[in-house]
Chain A
Amino acid sequence: MRTRVSNYAVVVLALVMVGGLYTAFMSPKSKADDTTNQSTAVASGKQLYLQGCSTCHGLNNQGLTGPSLIGVGSAAVVFQVESGRMPLASGSAQAPRKKVKYDRTQIDQLAAYIQSKGGGPMAPTDAQLDVSDGDLSLGGDLFRTNCSSCHNFAGAGGALTRSKFAPALKAADARVIWTAMQSGPESMPRFSDNTLTPQEKKDITKYVRFITTQNKDPGGAALGHYGPIPEGLTIFLVGIGLLIVVTLWIGARA
């Protein structure tokens, strides 16, 4: 018991120190600072990895019950951890979105560590995530060609084979959307920077954020954004019902 408590204490102390160090180096003035920063992040990320991830992914990222993480890149880490899918709670057809276990700094440290192990698709920079100069209309075109077949034209998600599903996009922020395209998690195909350029990813991200956060559903009830079938059924039941009531009223003897 005593050793466990002291272990925790050491970890917490290490985290605080690492956090403090990281903050101290947060304003990189020179290339040297940047490198130091990066190696600190990698070291901290390794600690976090060994505690939280190595049980499944292996002490050397080689994969045990989970897949190998060599070459998956920082984009995969950001997507999986920032959407709460990792650490995995239990085995199922597909990792569900959960409460996020790590803060942004820790996620960046983990991402830096995994990126240092064999490279791979990189998470976007903050400048890339600023979608204000994205082209909303082009993003819509690209979304409908590349994304809507699985994620639904309004980002409401949909079913795949054998209990897998394409998730709804409402909960995903710009960084999660971007890293999902970049890393191709689980069933999702990967859209590398040659397939969809960073500018096109920005357009798509802007469009997805637009339809999931700003779209006002001018027709009233969205009915889950599932399109014509629930809409048709609703108007059929409600409309025919109303018409029957009106017909009865017209025909009723006063």
Chain B
Amino acid sequence: MSSIRDRLTSSPEPEPEDSAPGFAEHDTRSAGGSGAAESDPVAVSHHGANADTKRAELAVSGLFLLAALGAVGFIATYIAWPFKYGESGYQYYTPMLGITMTLALVGVGAGAVLWAKTLMIDEETVQERHHLNSDPEDRAGAAAVLKQGAEESGLMKHPILRRSFLLSQAALAVLPIPLLFGLGHFQHKERALAKTGWKKGSRLLDELGRPVKMGDLDVGGVKSVFPDVPGGRRMADSAALLIRMRPDQLKTTKNRENWVVEGHIVYSVICTHLGCPVKLYEQQTHHLFCPCHQSTFDAANGAKVLFGPAARNLPQLAITVDADGYFVARDDFYEPVGPSYWERKPSYKEPTYDGTAL
């Protein structure tokens, strides 16, 4: 390849390792047996270069053609290839799109690289740059125009006008600053981050939307539960875990005595560190374990942090049973679930409930 380029640019420095016919005149050792090469080196060199050039041109054109075919193939695949599940050949739909688009892009790229390496002139030149500033005449002209404008507009003659104009400009510059504060935390009057989908009296639904009742869980059992509100099972902040342990294993504080029902206890599963789902429950140790940063919570003791970077206990949902024996929430979580945020208060008041069911 180098031989072609060097021929084309008439490079005076042949590369000694290149033993192509074009360089036979410079390499007497390798040209030993070739009488023709020695007798008419220029003719041979031109002939060889032309053949190589032609071959390179064909190769580059071939790649460009392949790219064009790839693009056409992509469009054809996109329109005509079966993609619905179960149709014959549907599983090749995405791979075919990928292959054709790869051809279209890589064909152009590879063609361009090959083109540059074989057919383009390879020459290092220095481009002279002039100074970026305008020449003195232009600058003087511009200054004169500005000065003339200032005088003709009367800005220099009328100081009151000048000052009021400057004042208006300064005020305009200050105008966006209050708007910046609107982006911040004055917005969250609704406490959107502090609320979840749980409401007083909403039943605990399982992953298939069935309400969970007493007896559904054995001791040592768990169930992911969601609030019984429209879209409740898709509310990422409302996911909770219902755990059953022996009532004597469960430690409750005085405030939270009526938050649990016979060893059934519900916690938010959103980690208070960075919000991963804490659903790895070890039923022998009653540990709730977060897979992201190994925060460990003691489910038998108010989800107290035992280990890891989480700074707060998992919020507990107060539950009871309704008239039909289904578990219901006594209210929303009393504190915001999940990680800390600016507007979060350092602590929230825990409500107490008397023993009556809802």
Contact = CB atoms under 8 A, between A and B. Distances in A.
Given A250-B113, A254-B117, A191 B283 contact: no
Given A145-B224, A192-B221, A195-B221, A164 B207 contact: no
A187 interface: yes
A87 B252 CA distance: 38
B89 interface: no
Contacts, number: 74
B218 A190 contact: yes
A184 interface: yes
Contacts of A186: 284
B218 A145 contact: no
Interface string A61-73: 0000000000000
Contacts of B281: 189
Contacts of A195: 216-218, 221, 223
A121 B208 CA distance: 24
Contact of B282 (A142, A161, A250): A161
A158 B218 contact: no
B14 interface: no
A3 interface: no
B330 interface: no
B221 A146 contact: no
Interface in B279-325: 279-285, 287, 289, 291, 294, 296, 307
Contact of A190 (B221, B280, B282, B289): B221
A254 B285 contact: no
Interface in B139-179: none
B34 interface: no
A189 B216 contact: no
B2 interface: yes
Nearest to A138: B208
B233 to A, nearest CB: 10
Given A195-B223, A254-B1, A254-B122, A164 B218 contact: no
Contacts of A158: 280, 291
Interface string A241-254: 00000000010011
Interface in B208-242: 208, 215-224
A166 B283 CA distance: 12
Interface in A181-213: 184, 186-192, 194-195
B281 to A, nearest CB: 6
A254 B2 contact: yes
A194 B113 contact: no
B220 A161 contact: no
B86 to A, nearest CB: 13
A141 B217 contact: no
B247 interface: no
B1 A189 contact: no
A160 interface: yes
Contacts of A184: 218, 220-221, 283
B285 A161 contact: yes
Contacts of A56: none
A188 B283 contact: yes
A164 B282 contact: yes
Interface string A155-187: 000111100101000000000000000001011
Given A145-B207, A161-B296, A254-B117, A194 B307 contact: no
A190 B283 contact: yes
A188 B221 CA distance: 9
A145 B224 CA distance: 7
Interface residues of A, number: 26
Contact of A142 (B5, B207, B221, B284): B207
B49 to A, nearest CB: 15
A95 interface: no
B263 interface: no
Nearest to B112: A250
Nearest to A142: B207
A253 B13 CA distance: 14
B289 A194 contact: no
A189 B242 CA distance: 12
A166 B287 CA distance: 14
A160 B283 CA distance: 12
A187 B279 CA distance: 13
B48 interface: no
A53 to B, nearest CB: 20
B73 interface: no
Contacts of B243: 189
B139 to A, nearest CB: 41
Contacts of B208: 141-142
Given A149-B279, A160-B280, A184-B221, 16 more contacts: A141-B207, A141-B208, A145-B207, A150-B279, A150-B280, A158-B291, A161-B287, A161-B294, A189-B222, A190-B218, A191-B221, A192-B221, A195-B218, A254-B1, A254-B117, A254-B122
Interface of A: 121, 141-142, 145-146, 149-150, 158-161, 164, 166, 184, 186-192, 194-195, 250, 253-254
26 contacts: A141-B207, A145-B224, A146-B207, A149-B291, A159-B291, A160-B280, A160-B289, A161-B282, A161-B287, A161-B289, A161-B296, A164-B282, A166-B280, A184-B218, A184-B283, A187-B285, A189-B220, A192-B221, A194-B215, A194-B218, A195-B218, A195-B223, A250-B116, A253-B122, A254-B5, A254-B122
